[in-house]
Amino acid sequence: MQRALNIARDRFADWYQAVVAGADMAESSPVRGAMVIKPWGYGVWEQIQAELDRRIKATGHENCYFPLFIPLSFIAKEADHVDGFAKEMAVVTHHRLKMIDGRLQPDPEAKLEEPLVVRPTSETIIGDAFSRWIRSHRDLPLLINQWANVVRWEMRPRLFLRTTEFLWQEGHTAHASEAEAVAETAMALEMYRSFAEDVLAMPVIAGEKPENERFPGAVATWSIEAMMQDGKALQAGTSHFLGTHFAEAQNIKFQDDAGTLTLCNTTSWGVSTRLIGGVIMTHGDDDGLRLPPAIAPRQIVVVPMLRDKPEDEHVMAYCEELVKSLSKLSAFGQPLRVLLDNKKIKSAEKRWNWVRRGAPLILEVGPRDAAGANVSMMRRDDLRDGDKVKSVIKPRQDFLENAVQLLTEIQAGLYAEAKARLDANIKTGITDWAGVENYFAGGDDDFKGWLRISWSKPTGDALEKIGAQLKALKLTIRNAPLDQPETFAKCLFTGAAGVEEILIGRAY
RNA sequence: CGGAGCGUAGCUCAGCCUGGUAGAGCAUUAGCUUUGGGAGCUAAGGGCCGUUGGUUCGAAUCCAGCCGCUCCGACCA
C-alpha cells in the first residue's frame, strides 16, 4: 500500500524523523543540535503558546523578560544547581572578534572580566531581581512568567525532544510561606496536566519525582509523564518547589507583618518545545502527523482540484466562499483556522502534504463538488478504510453545520485513543525484581510500557543503588502518581513496608 | 567522549568488494496526451561522488586524517 511516509512506526526513531521532515516542521541546522523550526512546526508552538499563555495569565501570573546572559557568579551561588548544570553550559568569554593570522577569532584583548553563561534556566537571574523587588509581605506572592529560549549543551540531540537551544515558558514565583509555595507548584502541575490532556490530547500521569530525579536545587519536583507509541515515557512538564534554597543563595527576603525578616519560598515550572515532540509521538501514524484540532495551525484545509480549465474559476470562487463561511465559526474558544491552499503545485501533492502535516480536516473541491454544492472530506484521524483513503462527499451546508462538532470529535477521539493506550500499558501486580527483569527482558524495540509498583521510598545511597539497578535495564523511576491507594504492597526493591506506588519505565 | 553505520543530482538511493568516460527512480523545465484525484509519453537541465592527503599511469571505488549525520551508551526539558 502506498503511504504518505515511507517508514512505518515499527522503526520508531526513523519514523519520528520522517514525520518531522514530512510534516515540514523542523530541520537540523548548521549548528549541531540546534534546529530550525519551520512555519508549520512554529505554528504549532504558537498555538501552544497562545493557549498556555491565556491559562498562565488567568491564574494571576505576569509575563516578563530577563536577559539571555547570566553572570557566571550567579550560577555558582546554589551548589546543587551548579552540579546539575555545569556540564552543559554555553559560556561567553569574549566580546569582539579579530583577524589574527588570516583567521577570524576571539580577540584576546577583548576577554570578559567575568564570563557570562547563556541561560540554561533562569532561577538565578530572576532570583537576583526578586531579591531587589521583594521587601515586604505586601510584595508577595510575586508571580512571574517568561517565554524564552534556553541553551543546554546536550550530548545527543533529537529534533524537538532534546535540542541544544529550545523554546520554553518558565514560571518563577516567590511566596511568604512554604504552604503557599507548595500550593503554587500544585497549581502549575494541574495546569500542565489539563493543558496536555485537553489541548494536546495527550494523556499524562502527574506525580512527584523521586529524590534522585529532582531539578538541581529543588526541594521537590513534580512532573507530567506521557507515554509515546513505543511505550517510552516523555517528561512533558515539570513543577519545582524550591523551598528557601534559592532565597538563601540570593538573599530573597521579606519583612512579615510582625516586622521579622524572613526568607521567601520560591517555585519554578516549565514546558518546552519538547511538547511538540510529544504530540508527534503520541498521535502520529504511518501517514505522518495527526494534529489535535486545538493546536493545529490550520484546522481545515481546502484543496481546490484545478485543471487549467475555464471551470477552475468557478471552483476557486466556490472555495473562497466556503473558506469565508467556515472562518466565521469558532471552535475551542477561538475562531476557526481555515486555509485555502492555492499554491501553484499539483493538487494531489497538496493533499498528501496536508496528510503528512496532520491537518485535521482536508476538503477537496473539484468542479463537480462546486456544481453540486458539495465538498469531498477527509478526516486525518480516520484516513483510511483498509488501504484506501476515505474521501466522503458531503453537502456543503451539512459540512458547515457540523464542522465544529467534527473538530471537537476528532480532538476527543485522539485523546481517547492515546488514553486507552496509556491505560492498557501500565502494568501492575509485579512485586519482585525478578518479575521486573522478566518483564523488560528482550529487545529494546519491544513495546513494554510502564510498571506501577510499590516501594518504601528509600533515600540517599539506598536510592542510588536502586537507580543503578534500574539503569541496567534502561529503566528510570518516572514519578509517584498523585493518585495513590490506601494500602501498599511490600517494597519491590527492599521487601520493607511499602509507602508509595511509583511508575517505572524507559524514557526519552 | 566510547561503540556501530553512513556522507554520490533538490530528495531517496544504486555503483565501491574486484580502480578504467557518473547512474536510476522521484522532483524540476518544455511539448503532447489525460482529467473525481499521489497520471502517461517524449525530450532537456541538473554532480569538485563530504573534505584533506596518500597509493596508482589512472580513485566515487583502496588507505589514513579531519568534518558532518544517524543509531546505541554516558548527560538531559
A 10 A CB-CB count for A416 gives 12
User: Is any atom of nucleic acid chain B found less than 7 Å from the CB of residue A155?
Assistant: yes
Residues A104-155: tens digit of each pLDDT: 788 889 999 999 999 999 999 999 999 999 999 999 999 999 999 999 988 8
Q: Determine whether the distance from the CB of A17 to the nearest atom of strand B is below 7 Å.
A: yes
Pick A6 or A62 by higher pLDDT. A62
**Angle between helix A12-22 and A274-283 (nearest 10):** 110
- Asked whether residue A4, judged by its CB, lies under 7 Å from any atom of the DNA or RNA strand B, the reply is yes
Q: Where are the beta strands (DSSP E) in A320-398?
A: 330-331, 334-335, 338-340, 361-365, 374-379, 384-385, 388-389, 392-395
Q: How far is Cα A82 from Cα A313, in angstroms, rounded to an integer?
A: 65
DSSP string of A177-225, one letter each residue:
SHHHHHHHHHHHHHHHHHIIIIIS---EEEEEPPGGGS-TT-SEEEEEE
Is the CB of A28 within 7 Å of strand B? yes
Instruction: Say how far apart CA A145 and CA A61 lie, in whole Å.
Output: 6
The answer to whether strand B lies under 7 Å from the CB of residue A348 is yes
**What was the pLDDT predicted at A371?**
93
Is the per-residue pLDDT at A380 higher than 70?
Answer: yes
- A166 Cβ nearer than 7 Å to chain B strand: yes
Report residues 472-491 of A contacting strand B, contact meaning Cβ closer than 7 Å: 474
A254 touches strand B (CB under 7 A): no
Distance of C1' in B67 from CA in A71, Å: 33
Q: Which superfamily is assigned to A426-505 in CATH?
A: C-terminal domain of ProRS (3.30.110.30)
CA of A12: nucleotide with nearest C1'? B71
Average pLDDT over residues A371-385: 95
Can you tell me which residue has its alpha carbon closest to the C1' of nucleotide B71?
A: A13
Whether A102 has a pLDDT exceeding 80, the answer reads no
Q: How far is the CA of A152 from the C1' of B8 (A)?
A: 35
Note the ipTM here. Answer: 0.87
- Write down the domain spans for chain A: 12-283, 293-413, 426-505
Q: List the CATH code of the domain at A12-283.
A: 3.30.930.10
Which DSSP state fits A382? G
**Phi and psi based region of residue A378 (left: phi greater than 0; alpha: psi -120 to 50; beta: remaining):** beta
Q: Which three cell numbers stand for residue A357?
A: 502535516
Rounded distance in angstroms from the CA atom of residue A223 to the C1' atom of nucleotide B4: 34
Q: What is the mean pLDDT of residues A40-67?
A: 97
Among A268-272, A459-463, A487-491, the minimum mean pLDDT is found in A459-463
- Alpha carbon distance A86, A84 (integer Å): 6
Contacting residues 90-149/A vs strand B (CB within 7 A): none
The answer on pLDDT for A32 being more than 80 is no
Predicted confidence at residue A231, as pLDDT, reads 92
Q: How far apart are CA A473 and CA A466, in angstroms?
A: 11
Side by side, the strands of the sheet bearing A300-304 are A338-340, A300-304, A361-365, A374-379, A392-395
CATH class of A293-413: alpha beta
State the average pLDDT over residues A326-333. 98
A103 CA → B65 C1’, Å: 22
Mean pLDDT of the A461-486 span: 93
The nt closest to A16 (CA vs C1′) is: B70
Nucleotides of B under 7 A from a protein CB: 1, 12, 28, 34-39, 68-77
Sheet of A426-427, strands arranged across = A62-63, A142-151, A165-175, A265-272, A233-243, A220-227, A204-208, A476-481, A500-505, A450-455, A426-427
Point out the nucleotide closest to A367 (alpha carbon to C1′).
B36
Q: Is the CB of A448 under 7 A from strand B?
A: no
Residue A444 CB closer than 7 angstroms to strand B? yes
A371 touches strand B (CB under 7 A): yes
The answer to whether the beta carbon of residue A223 comes closer than 7 angstroms to any atom of strand B is: yes
Q: What is the pLDDT of residue A445?
A: 65
- A107 CA to B62 C1' in angstroms comes to 44
In angstroms, what is the C-alpha Rg of chain A? 26
- Give the pLDDT band of residue A405 (cuts 50, 70, 90): very high
Q: Tell me the nt nearest to A508, Cα to C1'.
A: B76
A441 touches strand B (CB under 7 A): no
Q: Identify the bridge partners of residue A26 per DSSP, sorted by sequence position.
A: A37
What's the CA–C1' distance between A215 and B7, in Å?
39
The gap between A232 CA and B41 C1' (Å) is: 50
Nucleic strand B near CB of residue A164 (< 7 Å): yes
pLDDT average, residue stretch A467-486: 93
In whole angstroms, B36 C1' to A100 CA is 67
Nearest DNA or RNA nucleotide to A88 (CA to C1'): B75
As a rounded value in angstroms, the CA-to-C1' distance for A231 and B10 is 36
Does A83 have pLDDT greater than 90?
Answer: no
Q: Which residue is nearest to nucleotide B12 (CA to C1')?
A: A6
User: Which nucleotide C1' is nearest A270 CA?
Assistant: B77
